[in-house]
Amino acid sequence: MPPMDGSPRRAKPPADDDPPEDLLGEAVARAQKGDEDAFRSIYRAVQPGLLRYLRGLVGDDAEDVASEAWSQIARDLPGFRGDGQGFRGWAATVSRNRALDHLRRMRRRPQPAGVSADEMAQRPAEHDTAGIALDRVATDEAIALIASLPPDQAEAVLLRAVMGLDVATAAQVLGKRPGAVRTAAHRGLHRLADILAERARHNDPSGGADAQA
């Protein structure tokens, strides 16, 4: 596997159950030397976001694809070179390739399911208004909204907001320039914010009565 050397950067501090990237990098180094406890540690740190990302690509088949991805990660781990953020990016690349193989086998389009709006709002985002808005909708609604975006925007949002990757690492995963990924995520989150704002106006139970009083 090619090295993934994205530098660590997060728009928000890590969640309580999400270890700092330097600690993740140290765990990866120990796992490469055969430390099974360290491998379990990196699995616990990366698997939740990875599974949400895969659900955005292959829907209910995410756990099967994740299992295939982790088998490859375990096999190729000795050859990995990079830090904690780089490992997340490498894991996302492996998982994305397995997901694309799966979709080709199944000959069907991705059917996203299962990303929590609450979890998305806690991850790095390039437009805080969209993150706050997503926090108010139910899981299925959030997924439907992401799925309605153009494919490049949807995957950029998944990698940035769900996987928590920085722009440089997400760009390596997608094989695109960082500026293109930043723009796609920015446009996708803006579009989500606009859709949610419009929906809120239509669902306002007051019907604007307060404004008229």
Q: Is the pLDDT of residue 14 over 60?
A: no
% of the chain at pLDDT higher than 90? 39
> To the nearest whole number, what is the mean pLDDT of the chain?
76
pLDDT number for residue 194: 86
Q: Is the pLDDT of residue 135 over 70?
A: no
CA dihedral 44, 15, 58, 136 (to 10 degrees): 150
| Dist. CA 160–CA 167, nearest whole Å | 7
Among 28-37, 113-122, 143-152, 182-191, the range with the most confident prediction by mean pLDDT is 28-37
Which tens digit of pLDDT belongs to each residue from 193-213?
A: 888 888 778 776 555 444 444
Higher pLDDT, 213 or 142: 142
- Contact (CB, 8 A) for 84 and 21: yes
pLDDT number for residue 57: 82
- Contact (CB, 8 A) for 89 and 172: yes
Q: Is the pLDDT of residue 75 over 90?
A: yes
Cα 125 from chain centre: 11
| Environment class of 177 (CB within 10 Å of its CB; exposed 0-12, middle 13-18, buried 19+) | exposed
Which of 101, 36, 94 lies closest to 69, judged by CA?
94
- Span of 55-59, 67-71, 124-128, 132-136 with lowest mean pLDDT: 124-128
Higher pLDDT, 39 or 5: 39
pLDDT number for residue 20: 61
The mean per-residue pLDDT over the stretch 35-63 comes to 89
pLDDT number for residue 44: 94
* Through-space distance between the first and last CA atoms of the chain, rounded to whole angstroms: 64
Q: Is the pLDDT of residue 35 over 90?
A: yes
pLDDT number for residue 115: 43
Which tens digit of pLDDT belongs to each residue from 54-74?
A: 887 887 888 999 999 999 999
CATH number of 21-204: 1.10.1740.10
Which of 149, 140, 135, 138 lies closest to 189, judged by CA?
149
CA separation (Å) from 127 to 12, 66, 83?
12, 29, 26
Q: Is the pLDDT of residue 116 over 90?
A: no
Q: Is the pLDDT of residue 92 over 90?
A: yes
| Dist. CA 140–CA 182, nearest whole Å | 25
Q: What are the boundaries of each domain within the chain? A: 21-204
